[in-house]
Amino acid sequence: MSLAVGDTAASLVGRRWGRTRLRNGRSLEGTAAFALVAGTSSALTLRLGYPMAWSQALLMGAVAGVAGALTELSSERLDDNFSIPVMVAAVLTVVLMIQGLA
């Protein structure tokens, strides 16, 4: 979900309203859109697809959104279509391990 909707939202918002340039042609507005949209869609997907409380789904969604946005922002050498899902999966795995669920 982070790549599918987050990257699309970042591109659309960044091209239309992106004014504050960060790095690698990315904008603050696009990065924020990535985190918000990816986090929301991930939380909804987790809540609907797995038996977990809303609070846990929102936490996991927020982590996924922020991890994906930061990965996209820092992607230089690797294609972000590869690095985003790998990094989001790794970060969520660590969060699940900390919570004792993995």
In the block, which residue shows the tokens 């927020």?
A: 62
Distant-in-sequence, close-in-space partners of 2: CB < 8 Å, separation ≥ 6 = 38, 42, 64, 65, 67, 68, 84, 85, 88
Tokens of residue 85, six digits: 């899902």
Exposed/middle/buried for residue 98 (C-beta within 10 Å: 0-12, 13-18, 19+): exposed
∠ CA 62-66-21, nearest 5°, is 140
User: In this model, does residue 8 exceed pLDDT 80?
Assistant: yes
User: pTM for the full model?
Assistant: 0.89
pLDDT tens sequence across 37-68: 999 999 999 899 888 899 999 999 999 999 99
